[in-house]
Structure formats: C-alpha cells, structure tokens
Structure 1
C-alpha cells in the first residue's frame, strides 16, 4: 500500500516459529501514511503483530493503536481522534491450492457468508506495515465530525418568480 513504510517478513523465517514485531513508523513514514490515507496528520501509530505458520502460508494477528488528525466534515477544522483495531489475516503464496479460484473471466466468486479467503502473496515476503495501514484505513471515519461541531443550515431566501415581480410592478402603477 505504501512504499514509504515497509516491514517485510519472509515466509522461510516462520520455519523457526512465530515472528513477533512491534511496528512504530518514524515521523516521515507516518507523514507518508497520512498522505496515502487522506489524513491531515498521523501523530501516533503503534502495532504489535504476530506472524505464525498457517498451512502453506502464514497467519497475521495483532492490534494497532493510532492517533489520527482528521479535518472535520462540518467545520473544516482539524482535530485529533484515537483509532484502534484488530488485525487478523491469512496469506498464502501464489500457486497455493488455498488461493481463491477465479472463473474464466478472471473474477473470483465470493460468498458473503463464508470467511474471507486468504490473501495471495506476490512474492515470498509479507509486508506487515501494509497490513497495518490497510486495517487502519478500514477503521477511519469517512465523515469525521469534531466533537461539538454542529451543522447549522439556513435556507436561502426564496427567489421571487418573474411573474411576482411583474405583478408587483403592475400593483405599484395602480
């Protein structure tokens, strides 16, 4: 998702057991993530992630906590809000029997009641930072509202119809 912040874990590293990582992007990386997600700023992002072997791929679980700076959709003022969430994803290498089959048109058939199919890796590495950013994006409010911000709408004065103006001119002459 973001080339500016990557944290790769190779599948072969899981042969020794689960890999645990604490991810904390620096200021430049947070700025790049904020730009990617359309945020004003991203003052804090911390994620604790565990990658375990799962069938012929891996399972990524963890949690992230962030502080994001939104722009209020009502007042257009910036404000900070905490955002947190869980991460739970399975990934498999390309060519895996567990990869979502595609039909002849190249489209995958989805069952809304079934669990999500595993993601298919493009290479031999899992980018943990990309999964953290993806899950952060899913937790963002698409229409953020600063606490206490109220939308006050005053309808415009109705325009007079041309006929009402003509009637007024006629009445003035009488």
Structure 2
C-alpha cells in the first residue's frame, strides 16, 4: 500500500466539502511551530518564522469557491551575497473547485482537442478551469503551500544589493594575442 500523500506534506488541513456551509464561512490555516522548519526546507528558505492563511469558503452544490490571503514571514538567501535576509510575503488566493470528473471535463474543454498540434493557444480574460475535489476533500494546507511557493522570488536579492560587473581594471590580453606576440619575437 502506498503512503498517504496528505501525510507527507509539511502542512495539511483537509476539509470535507459536505462540511462547508452553503453560506460563506471563514477558515484559518496556521502552520504549527514544529512544521515551520520542514516547510522552509521544502521551499528552500533559510527559515520560516510564520505562515498563516485566511480563507472564505462558499459552496454551491458540489462546487466550492475559495478566496483569501496568505501571509508569511521568512528569511531567504541573497543570490549575490549569499546572506540571509527577512521577507514578508502576502499572497491573494482565488480558486474554484469542482468534483474531479467535472474539473477534468472543464480542462478538456479548454484544450484545442487535437493531440497532434504543438501550438499552444492562450486565451486572455478566460477563467481557469476549476481545481479537482479529490474524494470529497480539499486540502487547504496544500493550497497554502502551493501559492506560497509560487509567490517566492526564485532569485532573491537582499535590499540594496545589486549585481555589478567586475570592476574595470587593467585589460588582460587575449591568450591568443600573447602567443602571436611570442611567435613574432622568435
């Protein structure tokens, strides 16, 4: 038997769709202190001091709408100086969920339908297909980690640090120019 993927996540907060009321309700996802180092390691952060998400969930039949904000305080490593520096992250989140079969059908409707085509058509101002609801459960912890990971700067720079070219100094001669000069001297 394979391990439960929910158990391997450093932050998991599953919520059953039938437990979501038909009128909007608020849910908070807070990472416990013992999970912060595992989340930091998974996201390649120097450290993670706080992670909290506040979501409003509303249900219409089997469909769920999620809106909210993720806030995190962390330390990233500067790609220029390799020093740790603090960052505060605020991420808005807006997602629609639908039963797995319905979500797949919506995703297929968005495809061109021709498997042999290599061209990708991007339609602006068109809503993304809904995320699938797996076995009647939405994992708010997984949503939180995914959006936090997408919001992180992949090449973080400490404030005030710039990557400048090597200082101008004496211009070095090309190795081929040195060889040509030696050949002329002989």
Q: TM-score, normalized by length of structure 1? A: 0.82
Q: Which runs of 5+ in 1 are unaligned?
A: none
Which residue number corresponds to residue 99 of structure 2? 93
Which residue number corresponds to residue 62 of structure 2? 56
Per-residue displacement from partner, 1:81-134 (whole Å, max 9, x unpaired)?
A: 1110111000111122763226475xx986343111111122210001111111
User: 1:56 and 1:110 mapped to 2: Cα distance?
Assistant: 28
Are 2:136 and 1:124 equivalent residues in the alignment?
yes
Of 32-41 and 5-14, more deviation after overlay is shown by 32-41
Q: What is the Cα-based RMSD across aligned positions, in Å? A: 2.7
* Matched residue count: 168
Which residue number corresponds to residue 6 of structure 1? 12
Which residue number corresponds to residue 166 of structure 1? 183
Which residue number corresponds to residue 29 of structure 1? 35
Asked if the contact 1:54/1:90 (under 8 Å) is kept, the reply is no
Give the direction of change, closer, same or farther, for the CA distance of 1:15–1:66 in structure 2 (3 Å limit).
closer
Of 69-78 and 11-20, more deviation after overlay is shown by 11-20
Of 75-84 and 156-165, more deviation after overlay is shown by 156-165
User: 1:150 and 1:165 mapped to 2: Cα distance?
Assistant: 41
Q: TM-score, normalized by length of structure 2? A: 0.77
Asked if the contact 1:85/1:139 (under 8 Å) is kept, the reply is yes
Q: Which runs of 5+ in 2 are unaligned?
A: 1-5
Of 148-157 and 46-55, more deviation after overlay is shown by 148-157
